[in-house]
């Protein structure tokens, strides 16, 4: 067992090395866990929607509850106009949730504790939402950067500030998820290390901390997925219902 | 006050309470989102401002000036973001 709390985030190659030009696209443990969580989502929701019995079994109940949960969330935050984007937000939420939850199983790898994964998700949302905004409102979407009721002298400064705050969205979205996951997992590893080094005499206190932290981490794993989805809804709402 | 009058007033008060409760329930998830936004919003705006300043400095060759200006603009943007989120939560 590695003593360094950061070794759990190491990405290593599984199987042969594949190179396309200068890019290394080999299959890594990170890719493995992304595939595993995607397959788990597919499996659960296929099983859940296979036979729609009136009295649902556990899997069907899980699938239906999560559907209702996301559906309600979209309705609350982005309104009825956001209905067509249900599939996108649902898959995003499920993917982040399953990656976080798979990371909670010992000896697994947490995909979302890497900034590049979360940043790609956030950048994808950011570009998508911007495109949706331009399709819906044309160049009128740029009015998002010009708040009403601002004196003319201040306008250039305000526009720069608005643009910066718009560009900071994907960064705040990705950093939040990545930092929460990485900090939590590092802390769990550190407390685990304390248990080993303090031995049978003093190890009980950090052990109890570890148990409490595991509970907290499961909560954080769910909450971060939820926040990721809800912020996507809020950004989508900004793009669909332009008001400033 | 007659009994009927009291009954209608009670009904009105009950309806009002229910409406308020429904309204708060509806608002709840969105406020959690905005609350979590606050923590990283400030930092990310500063980071974006500094990066923009750095890139502009490199292209125009005005080494220290634009990065300083855009750093402070980023700080302002971050503070505005936080204020806006806080206002959304109070609404």
What secondary structure does DSSP assign to chain B, as a single string?
--HHHHHHHHHHHHHHHHHHHHHHHHHHHHHHHHHHHHHHHHHHHHHHHHHHHHHHHHHHT-HHHHHHHHHHHHHHHHHHHHHHHHHHHH-
Q: How many cross-chain Cβ pairs, A to B, lie less than 8 Å apart?
A: 72
Which residues of B fall within a CB distance of 8 Å from A165? Answer: 45, 77-78, 80-81
Q: Is some CB atom of chain B closer than 8 A to the CB atom of A77?
A: yes
Average pLDDT value for residue range A165-185: 89
Average pLDDT value for residue range A117-139: 91
Q: Considering only alpha carbons, which residue of chain B is nearest residue A177?
A: B40
What distance in Å separates the CA atoms of residue B65 and residue B56, rounded to the nearest whole number? 10
Measured in angstroms, the CA of A236 and the nearest CA of chain B are apart by: 13
Residue B33's pLDDT is 56
Q: Which residues, 6+ apart, have CB-to-CB distance to A47 below 8 Å?
A: A59, A60, A63
Which residues of B fall within a CB distance of 8 Å from A176? Answer: 36, 39-40
pLDDT band at A20 (very low <50, low <70, confident <90, very high): confident
Nearest to B77 among A77, A164, A230 (CB): A164
pLDDT band at A30 (very low <50, low <70, confident <90, very high): confident
Higher-confidence residue of B40 and A169: namely A169
Q: Which residue out of B25, B30, B82 would a mutagenesis test of the A interface target, given it has the greatest number of A Cβ atoms within 10 Å?
A: B30
Residue A40's pLDDT is 92
> Domain span at residue B64?
3-90
Residue A93's pLDDT is 93
Residue B31's pLDDT is 57
Judge: A160–B34 Cβ closer than 8 Å, yes or no. Answer: no
- Quick one: CA dihedral A137, A139, A145, A151, positive or negative? negative
Average pLDDT, chain A: 86
Residue A126's pLDDT is 93
Residue A149's pLDDT is 78
Average pLDDT value for residue range A129-156: 85
Nearest to A230 among B33, B39, B80 (CB): B33
Q: In this structure, are residues B67 and B54 in contact, taking their beta carbons and an 8 Å threshold?
A: yes
Q: Is the pLDDT of residue A244 over 70?
A: no
Residue A92's pLDDT is 92
Q: In this structure, are residues A214 and A206 in contact, taking their beta carbons and an 8 Å threshold?
A: no
Dihedrals phi, psi of A124, to nearest 5 degrees: -60, -45
pLDDT digit string (tens) for B24-69?
655 555 555 556 667 788 888 898 999 999 999 999 888 888 899 9
This prediction has a pTM of 0.81
Residue A55's pLDDT is 78
Q: Is the pLDDT of residue A38 over 90?
A: yes
Q: Considering only alpha carbons, which residue of chain B is nearest residue A167?
A: B48
Q: Is some CB atom of chain A closer than 8 A to the CB atom of B29?
A: yes
Residue B34's pLDDT is 58
Q: Is the pLDDT of residue A206 over 70?
A: yes
Q: Is the pLDDT of residue A199 over 90?
A: no
Q: Is some CB atom of chain B closer than 8 A to the CB atom of A167?
A: yes
Q: In total, how many domains does chain B have?
A: 1
Residue A37's pLDDT is 92
Q: Is B22 exposed, middle or buried (0-12, 13-18, 19+ CB in 10 A)?
A: exposed
pLDDT digit string (tens) for A74-91?
888 888 888 888 999 999
pLDDT band at A130 (very low <50, low <70, confident <90, very high): very high
Nearest to B33 among A161, A167, A227 (CB): A227
Q: Is the pLDDT of residue A97 over 90?
A: yes
Q: Which residues, 6+ apart, have CB-to-CB distance to B63 below 8 Å?
A: B57
Measured in angstroms, the CA of B50 and the nearest CA of chain A are apart by: 10
């Amino acid at each position: 067992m590695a003593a360094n709390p950061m070794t759990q985030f190491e990405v290593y190659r599984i199987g042969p090395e594949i190179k396309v030009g200068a890019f290394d696209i080999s299959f890594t443990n990170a890719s493995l866990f992304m595939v595993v969580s995607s397959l788990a989502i597919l499996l659960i929701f296929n099983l859940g929607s296979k036979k729609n019995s009136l009295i649902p079994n556990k899997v069907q109940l899980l699938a239906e509850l999560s559907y209702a949960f996301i559906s309600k969330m979209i309705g609350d935050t982005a309104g009825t106009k956001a209905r067509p984007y249900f599939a996108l937000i649902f898959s995003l939420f499920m993917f982040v949730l399953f990656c976080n939850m798979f990371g909670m199983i010992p000896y697994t790898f947490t995909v979302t504790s890497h900034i590049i994964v979360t940043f790609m998700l956030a950048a994808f949302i950011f570009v998508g939402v911007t495109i949706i905004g331009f399709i819906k409102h044309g160049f009128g979407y740029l009015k998002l950067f010009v708040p009403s009721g601002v004196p003319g002298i201040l306008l250039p400064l305000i526009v720069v500030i608005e643009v910066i705050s718009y560009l900071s969205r994907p960064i705040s979205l990705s950093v939040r998820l990545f930092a929460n996951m990485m900090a939590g997992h590092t802390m769990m590893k550190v407390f685990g290390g304390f248990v080993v080094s303090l031995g049978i005499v003093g190890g009980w206190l950090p052990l109890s901390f570890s148990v409490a932290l595991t509970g907290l981490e499961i909560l954080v794993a769910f909450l971060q997925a939820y926040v990721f989805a809800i912020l996507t809804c809020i950004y989508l709402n900004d793009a669909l219902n332009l008001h400033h | 006050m007659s009994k009927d009058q009291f009954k209608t007033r009670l009904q009105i008060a009950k309806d009002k309470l229910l409406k308020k409760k429904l309204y708060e329930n509806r608002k709840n998830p969105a406020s959690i989102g905005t609350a979590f936004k606050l923590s990283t919003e400030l930092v990310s705006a500063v980071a974006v401002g500094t990066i923009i300043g750095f890139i502009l400095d490199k292209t125009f060759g005005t080494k220290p000036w634009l990065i300083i200006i855009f750093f402070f603009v980023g700080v302002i943007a971050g503070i505005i973001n936080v204020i806006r989120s806080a206002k959304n939560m109070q609404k």
